[in-house]
Amino acid sequence: MLGRVDKMSILNELREQVGLGGPAASLANELLVIHENYAAGQLTSEEYAFLLQEIADIRAQQELASDEIACRWIVAAAQGMLAVM
């Protein structure tokens, strides 16, 4: 689970989640792609924040409704990424 907020540790945990598969893997992968696009200058900070917030506020609840732990994990990851923006 996510402990202290550190960009590299969040990204590493997302990569690990993608490798494990499961219900959160798809959204974890999307968070990584969003971060990579932002780092490459393909997204503005406003677009980056909007996409992360959309995953935290809407998509995690919709796509992970049957798995509360995975949902909370994805929300925490997205919020952590916003915090270290």
Q: Which H helix or E strand runs over 42?
A: none
- What pTM was estimated for this model as a whole? 0.86
Dig out the tokens for 78 from the structure: 């997205």
Q: Has residue 1 been placed in a domain? A: no
Domain count, the chain: 1
For 72, the domain range is 7-83
pLDDT in tens, 10-29: 899 999 999 988 879 999 99
Residue type, 57: D
How does pLDDT run across 31-73, given as a tens digit for each residue?
Answer: 999 999 999 999 999 999 999 999 999 999 999 999 999 999 9
Name the nearest CA neighbour of 17 among 4, 82, 5, 9. Answer: 9
Helix 45-54 and helix 68-83, axial crossing angle in degrees, nearest 10: 160
Closest CA to 52 of 21, 7, 1, 4: 7
Determine, yes or no, domain membership for 26.
Answer: yes
Q: How far apart are CA 11 and CA 18, in angstroms?
A: 11
Q: Check residues 78 and 4 and name the one with the higher pLDDT.
A: 78
pLDDT at 5: 56
48 assigned to some structural domain: yes
